[in-house]
Chain A
Amino acid sequence: MEHIEIFNRLRQQFGEEVVLEHVVTGDEAKGFRDPYILLKTESLAEVARFLKDDEALAFDMLHCISGVDWPEYFESVYHLFSFKHRHMATLKVRTSKDDPKVPSVTSVWPAADWHERESYDLVGIRYEGHPDLTRILLPEEWEGHPLRKDYETPTHEHLRELGL
């Protein structure tokens, strides 16, 4: 299924309130690149469940979760793949900078477990409903989330104070 068809199917199922828009990145002059579907953050788990269970979509594999720090909001990006239909989809949800919260999809795809932990660790998005949302790559005592654009690298003295 083409990406736009996946979007249409989702829209048909959930409506404009939940499935916000279909964006093809790039521009007219230099060519278009990968598209994505923007979802309403609170409905992510519901849509994810549908994406996996629906016969026509059958996204059985979660390929990757990436957290992105944009100037106005955080984004959590999901790359999905279906072995049955051999198509891919990119989902995005946005969350506020003050209180970044995104519903967890670990119950839908177990693969999300480590990806969400990594995104929490490095970008600082909280995945609500994750069974064990702890840091995965950095030490437990680490302060801040390095992949944020405003992150300041700690000095050696500070790290020593933390016992690292």
Chain B
Amino acid sequence: MVIPAQPKPLQGEPMVIYMGPQHPSTHGVLQVELHTDGEIVNRAIPRIGFLHRCKEKIGESVPYDAYVPYTDRMDYLAAMNTNWAWASAVEKLAAIEVPERAEYIRVYVAEFNRIASHLVALATYGLDLGAWTPLLHAFRERESVLDILEELSGGRLCFGYMRIGGVANDITPRSIEMGKAFLKQFRAKLDSLNELLSFNHIFIRRAANIGVIPGEQAIAYGMTGPMLRASGVDWDMRRDEPYSIYPKLNFDVPVGQGLKGKTGDNWDRYWVRVQEMYESMKILEQVIDGLPEGEFRAKVPAILRPPAAEVYCRQECPRGEVAFYLISDGGKTPYRMKVRGPSFCNLSILETISKDMLIADLVSTLGSFDIVMGEVDR
């Protein structure tokens, strides 16, 4: 809720209070400098960089294939998707054809990772608003997703599963069985999560009509992913600029409609993520049905030396569009690599929309952004 500033007869100083980097609801090591007047936040300045690990500098000194594990640590809640974005950027640069089976496996793991990532987003958003129980239910579901990904890659958080030209190892029948079993029961679980949290009266009052971002503003600030779609912009890389096997798949792109308030409010952002999980399930069912035989990795030279050129390759990850800008000088390592993290761009709007909010609303808004600091700071 926005409370208009009123002339104050009693003048005092605004209180400056630092939320974070150790704060339960800053989702990592984000610091927000709050200038508050009582409960009202006059200004909230996000300060980032506490988790800066020189990802771009490292990228200039390691070979292309060796950089895959570093991308795990950017968006650690959606490591598969970031892996894939990197792999496809390098493939574009080196003009490597990826076998179709590998593309299916990539979509399989990436969509499962999207579900896992969105589950964390929803759960922690509930937690930001004081609802504990959805967190544990969502995490239980996430565990079963991670089991599937572990079966394939051996990791549970940082997978390192993608390779340039394919994936590390072939999909196992057991992981497909696990995937099927999960998809069978997940829809009902998601429905019960909706009953518990999404349509909870208090939850709607805490989330709807707060932190409203109109579509134009969202575009101007370079927002992507669920945040952009929640603002009513119908744009999804997977459908509109399709890559991999997405053109063959049939799915819808959920867009914020302002069901419980204005379009682009916190509840819309939350709800777009819930719906995306349903869409991911649709995609996964099609992938399981259509998995072709063939190679799971293309023949790639052991030491990759792409031609001296540049590519800018973007992909739809759970938090938005991850893009890699690669400049090669023909050597073993990129001359320059730049990561465009979606959380970084999404977070930059916080200062603009948080004027004259209550502290509780700021927490609610920040929670609905679903940022991962590993990718903001890189």
Contacts and interface: CB of A to CB of B under 8 A. Distances in A.
Given A33-B309, A86-B240, A147-B57, A110 B220 contact: yes
B377 interface: yes
Interface of B: 48-49, 52, 54, 56-57, 60, 92-93, 95, 216, 219-222, 233, 235, 240-241, 307-312, 314, 321, 323, 325, 327, 336, 338, 340, 344-345, 347-348, 352, 377-378
Interface string A120-164: 001000000000000111110000001100000000000000000
A34 interface: yes
Query: Which residue, of A64, A66, A109, A110, has the highest number of chain B Cβ atoms within 10 A?
Result: A64
10 contacts: A30-B95, A33-B93, A60-B220, A64-B323, A77-B338, A109-B222, A110-B220, A111-B220, A114-B345, A139-B49
A44 interface: no
Given A63-B340, A68-B336, A114-B348, A83 B235 contact: yes
A83 B57 CA distance: 32
4 tightest Cβ-Cβ pairs between the two chains A and B: A111-B222, A26-B309, A30-B307, A33-B309
Given A63-B222, A109-B220, A111-B345, A33 B49 contact: no
A114 B216 CA distance: 18
B373 to A, nearest CB: 11
A68 to B, nearest CB: 5
Contacts of A137: 48-49, 52, 377-378
A34 B327 CA distance: 10
A26 B57 CA distance: 23
A96 interface: no
A120 B286 CA distance: 46
Give the secondary structure class of B's interface. mixed
A110 B352 contact: yes
B213 to A, nearest CB: 12
Interface in A33-83: 33-34, 36, 60-64, 66, 68-69, 77, 79, 83
B54 to A, nearest CB: 7
A136 B57 contact: no
Give the size category of A's interface with B.
Answer: 35 or more
A27 to B, nearest CB: 6
Contact of B233 (A27, A83, A136): A83
Given A64-B323, A137-B377, A146-B57, A27 B308 contact: yes
Nearest to A92: B310
Query: Which residue, of A36, A114, A115, has the highest number of chain B Cβ atoms within 10 A?
Result: A114
Given A33-B307, A36-B310, 17 more contacts: A25-B308, A26-B309, A30-B95, A30-B307, A31-B307, A33-B310, A33-B311, A66-B338, A86-B241, A110-B348, A110-B352, A114-B344, A115-B222, A136-B49, A137-B48, A137-B49, A147-B56
A21 interface: no
Contacts of B93: 33
Nearest to B337: A66
A63 B310 contact: no
Query: Which residue, of B216, B235, B336, B377, has the highest number of chain A Cβ atoms within 10 A?
Result: B336
Interface string A89-124: 010000000000000000001110111001000100
A29 B140 CA distance: 52
Contacts of B221: 110-111
Nearest to B235: A83
A61 to B, nearest CB: 5
Given A136-B48, A147-B56, A62 B235 contact: no
A93 B117 CA distance: 38
Contacts of B321: 63
Contact of B312 (A26, A29, A79): A79
Contacts of A62: 222
B85 to A, nearest CB: 13
Contacts of A111: 220-222, 345, 348
B62 to A, nearest CB: 15
A77 B340 CA distance: 12
Query: Which residue, of A30, A90, A139, has the highest number of chain B Cβ atoms within 10 A?
Result: A30
A77 B325 contact: yes
Nearest to B378: A137
B308 A79 contact: no
A109 B222 CA distance: 8
